[in-house]
Amino acid sequence: MPTILILNKLAERHKTMIHSVADDIAVISCELDEAGQYIADADILVAWGWMDIRPLFLRAAKLKWLHALSAGVETLIFPEMQNSGIILTNSRGIHGIPISEHIFAMMLTFTRGLHLLLKQQAAKKWRRVPTDELHEKTLGIIGLGSIGREIAKKAKGLGMNVVATKRAVTTELFVDKLYPADQLHEMLPLCDFVVVALPLTEDTKGYFRLEHFQAMKPTAYFFNIARGAVVNEPDLITALEQGLIAGAGLDVFENEPLPEESPLWERENVIITPHLAALSPYYLDRAIKLFADNLARYVNGREMLNIIDKHKGY
């Protein structure tokens, strides 16, 4: 049975989930800086997609499978890993619930003016601010996957129209119109809210840029819960400064933490959250359950879930 090294402290219930696959699996859970002493024995390494695991990887003589507790796998892909036969998997599929709730928290903050009202409350000011509704507005999702689907489902419950782009156009239950990725320019002028939900890969770096903001309605709001680098941040700042869009809700940034000198901090029409859209008390329960399901497939020689193409990055 494999030895699993997990670079995150686990609760007993998480270890029980893993041991439900087989009693005699060895599970070591520790922080990254304690992992050196265990790595030589590890058959499976479980890490977060932003950890610098390369030094550990180079000493991992028995490693066969690297799994990300996150959806992002940015720091887990490097030349030695790409050129090895080691399988890479991620946790895509478990983020839809918290991220979609985060998106609606930000959208409703803008439509109900909460970002302005909270400031007024701090100053004990009683003054009405402009308000709006989500009902019958159009939401555009760029890169429809499991997160986008959950957003689309909730949007339908709120009476919104939903449009989306997707690499392979399929039939989607909660989407009114699906566009191939190369028709983004046709979709953008229709949207009152635009959500970027693309993974960060070589192809999506700087994907959303000035020409896309120019195609949006000046009354539309832009949201990024994917990765900062998918959007050209200077172009986003220009779009906000020139009024090409009405505002933005941002959970991710080109550089994190967002540097103090970023002009984004100062803007009244920007909501900034510190890369936590996916987090909730249930994150690790879902992530370990997914890992344990995949582990059962691995030990039984069945087809594994969420395998990443190490050259494409998703």
By CB under 6 A, which span of 66-74, 75-83, 108-116, 211-219 interacts with ligand OXD?
A: 66-74
In the complex with ligand OXD, which residue's Cβ is closer, 2 or 249? 249
Catalytic residues: 227, 256, 275
> Of 6, 10, 71, 162, which lies in the binding site for ligand OXD, with binding defined by CB under 6 A?
71
How many angstroms from the chain centroid is the CA of residue 210?
Answer: 22
**Nearest residue to 107 via CA among 191, 215, 23:** 191
Would you count residue 313 as binding ligand OXD (CB under 6 A)? no
Nearest approach in angstroms of CB 102 to ligand OXD is: 10
User: How far apart are the C-alpha atoms of 19 and 308, rounded to whole Å?
Assistant: 25
Would you count residue 200 as binding ligand OXD (CB under 6 A)? no
Rounded (5°) CA angle 34-314-11? 35
Nearest approach in angstroms of CB 299 to ligand OXD is: 25
* Count of C-beta atoms within a 10 Å radius of residue 199: 21
Nearest approach in angstroms of CB 228 to ligand OXD is: 10
Backbone dihedral angles phi then psi of residue 15, each to the nearest 5 degrees:
-65, -35
> Of 7, 21, 38, 49, which lies in the binding site for ligand OXD, with binding defined by CB under 6 A?
49
> Of 2, 72, 140, 148, which lies in the binding site for ligand OXD, with binding defined by CB under 6 A?
72
Where in 167-280 does DSSP place strands (E)? Answer: 177-180, 193-196, 221-224, 247-250, 270-272
Rule CB under 6 A: which residues touch ligand OXD? 49, 70-72, 95, 278
